[in-house]
Structure 1
Amino acid sequence: MKVGMIGVGLMGHGIAKNVLAQGGFPLAFLDHPGNQPVDDLIALGAIACKTPGDVADVSDVVILCVTGSPQVEAILTGETGVLARLRKGTIIVDCSTALPESTLRMAAAVRAAGGGFLDAPMTRTAKHAEEGTLNLLVGGDEADFQSVRAVLASFTEGLERVGPVSFGHRLKLLHNYVSIGFMALLSEAAAQAADAGVDPAVFVDVLAKGGGAGAALQRLTPAIVTDDVGTVPFFIGNALKDIDYYRTMASASGASKAIADGVAGAIAAVVESGHGQAYIPELARFLRKQQPAA
């Protein structure tokens, strides 16, 4: 099975590497300025393509790993996009974080062009992508899922079909809302503790022994205690995008989103102050009353 990859960024690079090295599948990828360095991929036999259509032309499965719905729609439906050159039977696997309503439209467009569509967003981090231990939440037809399962297994530890098309993205937005919400809440508390002069190690220890224990605390502890912000290489601007996607999904269903609105407001203020390209563990510093020097 020939694999195409569009989006060789922080997450996509690890996916591409493992498709090649662990899965042994031939790989073509879109040559794009937003890619991570690709010398190692080329050394493993990967081939660079100029347009998304060129990728589709040589692929049995095309994996998308881009920022969000506008990018997915442009890649698929643009003048030189994937659908212009899609081969019959090709499966599109969208690992991006996207709006479910957009996902349903794109899946219909792919099916109309003779292909199949799976939404397969990831949980875990870029480190897990490089290690080939991501978790995927897959929405789509069971037959399409099984047809590409070996490819997906090459870069994952957890691989689960969670329902029909769009359910992967719905669950990813729920997951990211909870994850980012926890980290935002913890960052605000850490900022208040720091402003009050609380020893950060004591602050973390108290939470770890009580109701504040969990993945968010584990991930942000290095930033809180030692200013190591590299543990979660996820841009604050992308976190805001994900929360806004969640709010859009909640609004469409009529669900409550009062807490999500508060999280979005706190993160938006940081982005508007010019820190959208900082990693999310830096939130605690940006939320302090008096920010320490960088």
Structure 2
Amino acid sequence: MHVGIIGVGLMGHGIARNVLSRGGFALSFLDHPGNQPVDEIEGLGGKPLGTPAEIAQVADVIILCVTGSPQVEAIVAGENGLAGALRPGTVVVDCSTALPESTLRMGALVREAGGDYLDAPMTRTAKHAHEGTLNLLVGGEAATLEKIRPVLASFTEAVSHVGPLGHGHRMKLLHNYVSVGYMTLLAEAAAQAADAGIDPQVFVEVLANGGGASAALDRLAPYITAQDRDALPFAVANAQKDIDYYRAMAEAAGAQQTVADGVSKALGASVEGGHGAAYVPELVTFFRKSSAD
């Protein structure tokens, strides 16, 4: 299978290198200024192309790894987009974090064009993408998933079929709400602890040995104790976007979102303060009393 990828960013770069090096598949990628440096990808045989339509003309499987629903919709339905150029039987795999209702619309367009569509958002981090050990939450037809499983296996540790189309993104938003929500809460607690003069190592150890133990603590602990933000290279603005997608999903379902509203407000204050490009662990600093004074 010839693989196309659109979005060679922090996560997509790792996916592309593993599709080539571990999977041994031919790969084309969209040449875009938002890409990470692609020297390694080209060195492994990846070919840059100028538009999504050009990728659709050569690829059997097309992986999308972009910011969110507006970008996905532009790639699928926009000028020189995928929908107008897909070959019959091509599978589009959306690994972005997107709104489920948008996913259903894009899936319908791809099916009308003769292709298939899976939503397959990722969990884990850019480090796992580089290592080829991402986890995917896949929504869509089981037969379509089985058809392209060898491609997905090249950059994943686990691939979970979570239900029909749209359920992958629904599950990802639920996951990120819990994950980002807890990290935001933890950052606020760590900031108060620091303002009170509590030893950060003691703070981390007490939580780790009690009810605060979690993957979120593991990812924030290096920053809490040593100002090392790189354990979680995830921008605050993207975290707020994911929470707001969750809120939109909850509102459409008539579900309670009181806590989610508070998380969005906390993240939004940092974004409005000019820290949208900072990494989530740095919220520990932004939430400190001295930072607000």
Q: TM-score range by the shorter chain?
A: over 0.9
Which has the larger displacement, 200-209 or 58-67? 200-209
Q: Distance in 2 between matches of 1:222 and 1:79?
A: 44
Gaps of 5+ in 1: none
SS in 2 for 1:160: strand
Instruction: Report the Cα offset of residue 212 of structure 1.
Output: 0.8
Partner of 1:134: 134
Find the residue that maps to 2:73 and give its secondary structure.
helix
- Which residues in structure 2 correspond to 1:156-195 (within 5 Å)? 156-195=156-195
For 1:62 and 1:209, how far apart are their aligned partners in 2?
A: 44
Structure 2 CA distance, aligned partners of 1:117 and 1:186? Answer: 37
Alignment-derived partner of residue 281 in structure 1: 281
SS, match of residue 291 in structure 1? helix
- Cα displacement string for residues 101-146 of structure 1 (whole angstroms, at most 9, x for unaligned residues): 0000000010011000000000000000000000000000011111
Query: Aligned to 1:101, what secondary structure does the other structure show?
Result: helix
Partner SS, residue 170 of structure 2: helix
What is the deviation of 1:79?
1.2
Residue 38 of structure 2 corresponds to residue 38 of structure 1:
yes
AA paired with 1:42? E
Equivalent residue number for residue 85 of structure 2 = 85
| 1:193 CA drift (Å) | 0.5
Matches within 5 A, 1:1-294: 1-291=1-291
The Cα of 1:84 is off from its aligned counterpart by 1.6
Write the letter of the residue equivalent to 1:261: D
Task: Please report how far the alpha carbon of residue 189 of structure 1 lies from its aligned counterpart in structure 2 after TM superposition.
Answer: 0.1
How far does residue 82 in structure 1 lie from its aligned partner after superposition? 0.9
Which consecutive unaligned segments of at least 5 residues does structure 2 have? none
Q: CA deviation at 1:58?
A: 0.7
Q: Secondary structure at the match of 2:10?
A: coil
Q: Helix, strand or coil: the match of 1:62?
A: strand
The alignment's TM-score, normalised by the length of structure 1, stands at: 0.98
Task: Give the superposition deviation at 1:291.
Answer: 2.7
Give the TM-score, by structure 2 length: 0.99
Q: Alpha-carbon deviations, 1:151-202, whole Å to 9, x = none? A: 0010000111111000000000000000000100000000000111111111
Distance 1:77 1:19 in 2: 25
Query: C-alpha distance in 1, partners of 2:44/2:273?
Result: 42
Shift of 1:56: 0.8
Shift of 1:230: 0.8
Percent of aligned pairs with the same amino acid? 66
Superposition CA RMSD, Å: 0.8
TM superposition shift of 1:209: 1.2
2:226 maps to a residue whose letter is T
